[in-house]
Structure 1
Amino acid sequence: MSEPEDLDPDRSLWNYIAVEVRRLRQIRGLSGNKLAEQLGCDRSYVSRVENGRLHLSPGYAQRLDALWDTTFARIVRLAEASDDGDWFTGLTEHEARATRHRMWAALLVPGLLQTPEYARAMLSTGMVSGVEEALEKRLARQAVVWERVEPPLVSVILSWAVLAQPVGGSDVMRAQISHLAELAEAPHVSIRVLEAASGAHNGLDGAFRLLSVGDREVAFIDAPERGRLVTTPTDVMKYAVRYDRLGDLAAPVGTSRTILHRSIETYQ
């Protein structure tokens, strides 16, 4: 019985869950379609979980436990609380499903709002070894979020430093800020700027975001090399409070649009 390619259950709890779901399904003689039918989900969901491209959700973990008398719900809770290096799969899954995104950008334009040229300039600084491959993945993540039939609500607070930090030259920055200004006109998007005059605040230690997925919220904290998903409700609440306090300091939407257009002119 072969394991899905590139999954190492000894390295990651999420990999263990994926391999174990597949193993137990096959032991029971179930096809992927049959298991999907029993769980009340799409066949593609089962396939993506078993191949490690999607994390098993707490809800479906509970359904598996009821069907098979297993402990997947407990293992999922442990996996969500751990930091085993497999955070990116969970992040992209949450991004694709989130109905609301709240982002604090301390120094760089958030990845989901970057133009290809801005993203390429950032990735080319040595962040990754395969720039074009990384860029393709980033654009694919953007498409999943922005091209949905019902796009999510997106609220962004940008530090003034994001607009002042040149990335890729004047042409790249002008196009990037123009893209932000265009996004800010969409009815489901709010972009506000936190100006330098605000002084010290609780966002100076780095960027983070909050995502509403179903009836729960998760937080993601940016960091060099790798980020960190936060799923414990009490810890997520701390970031929600931080976001609200940053919002208290940020300029209103209308004023922020003016700031964006004024920033475009500085890169002429």
Structure 2
Amino acid sequence: MRRQRMEHGLSANQLAIRLECDRSTVSRVENGLRRLSADYAAKLDEMWNLGRLFSRLVRFANATDEGDWFTGLTEHEAVATHHRMWEALLVPGLLQTEGYARAALNAGLVDDVERALKTRMARQAAVFGKPKIPHVSVLINWAVLAQPIGPPAIMVEQLAHLIEIGELPNVSVRVLEREAGANVGLDGSFALLTVDDRDIAFADAPERGRLMLDPPDVQRFGVRYDRISNVAAPVGPSRRLLEKAMESYK
């Protein structure tokens, strides 16, 4: 995109105006920090008479399994103003204690545990180490509390951390109880991030994930999150569930 922009004699600001977006969006796409959406690709093709070049490239990129869990995710996490997470099996990575994270990674999730652990702790620092913590809304499946990761002391520490972090003014931690039964979150964990006043979605999967920027894709996950949220326990009862689970490991 940068090459085409320069060949047509446009500055990043001028291209942003034509695409009706922020200059930061153009910069992020050109620097590989944000994927080009199908909508912007179509506008570029029409603007520069490229015969659907960008549209085809975007389609091929979306169909390619890159095997990279965190393509663009960490950059978006660091600047997001609102995080919404649903976790079906594990405590969300951004809320894991070092002991819990190491125990989970040692189960064979990665080849280099210490490197992955360092990356995970850095992701947490980028979000919770700011002077002003962003809004964080977390939904956790009951199975996360019942599944021991590491020895009991690790679970006690982790559940205590969830209780503590849930007391922050911008953070809520809620539990989907076992009695909720079948729900739309059973097919996998995901996150929704608000970045530059727009939402993006990330769907988790073993060894890889998928970052979605197109509004229709993101909206589907937004609806899914709302449906899970509608049946999850409120903050107060969720705290009591966390406390009960923590006591069970002592």
TM-score, reference length from structure 1: 0.74
Unaligned runs of 5+ in 1: 1-19, 28-34
- 1:106-154 Cα offsets, whole Å, 9 max, x none, are 0100101100000000111111111101100110111111112222110
> Closer, same or farther in 2 for the Cα pair 1:98/1:74, shift >3 Å?
farther
Q: Residue in 2 aligned with 1:134?
A: 116
Structure of higher RCO (CA pairs closer than 8 Å, 6+ residues apart): 2
Note the aligned Cα RMSD (angstroms): 3.3
Q: Given that residues 111 and 138 in structure 1 are in contact (C-alpha distance below 8 angstroms), is that contact kept between their aligned partners in structure 2?
A: yes
* Pairing 1:81–2:66 present: no
> Closer, same or farther in 2 for the Cα pair 1:174/1:79, shift >3 Å?
farther
Q: Residue in 1 aligned with 2:83?
A: 101
Q: Given that residues 157 and 194 in structure 1 are in contact (C-alpha distance below 8 angstroms), is that contact kept between their aligned partners in structure 2?
A: yes
- 1:143-170 Cα offsets, whole Å, 9 max, x none, are 1111122221100111110000000110
Residues 1-268 of structure 1 mapped to structure 2, 5 A cutoff: 54-55=33-34, 81-85=62-66, 86=68, 88-268=70-250
- 1:77-134 Cα offsets, whole Å, 9 max, x none, are 5587344414513111111121111111101001011000000001111111111011
- The residue matched to 2:140 in structure 1 has which SS? strand
Q: Given that residues 174 and 267 in structure 1 are in contact (C-alpha distance below 8 angstroms), is that contact kept between their aligned partners in structure 2?
A: yes
Unaligned runs of 5+ in 2: 17-22
Aligned residues, how many? 236
CA displacement at 1:76 relative to structure 2: 8.4
Give 2:129's aligned amino acid.
Answer: E
Q: Given that residues 81 and 231 in structure 1 are in contact (C-alpha distance below 8 angstroms), is that contact kept between their aligned partners in structure 2?
A: no
CA displacement at 1:263 relative to structure 2: 1.1
- 1:216-256 Cα offsets, whole Å, 9 max, x none, are 21111111111111222112111111111111111111111
- The residue matched to 2:70 in structure 1 has which SS? helix
Q: Distance in 1 between matches of 2:200 and 2:4?
A: 29
Q: Give the share of equivalent positions with the same residue, in percent.
A: 53
Q: Which moved more, 1:104-113 or 1:83-92?
A: 83-92
Q: Given that residues 56 and 76 in structure 1 are in contact (C-alpha distance below 8 angstroms), is that contact kept between their aligned partners in structure 2?
A: no
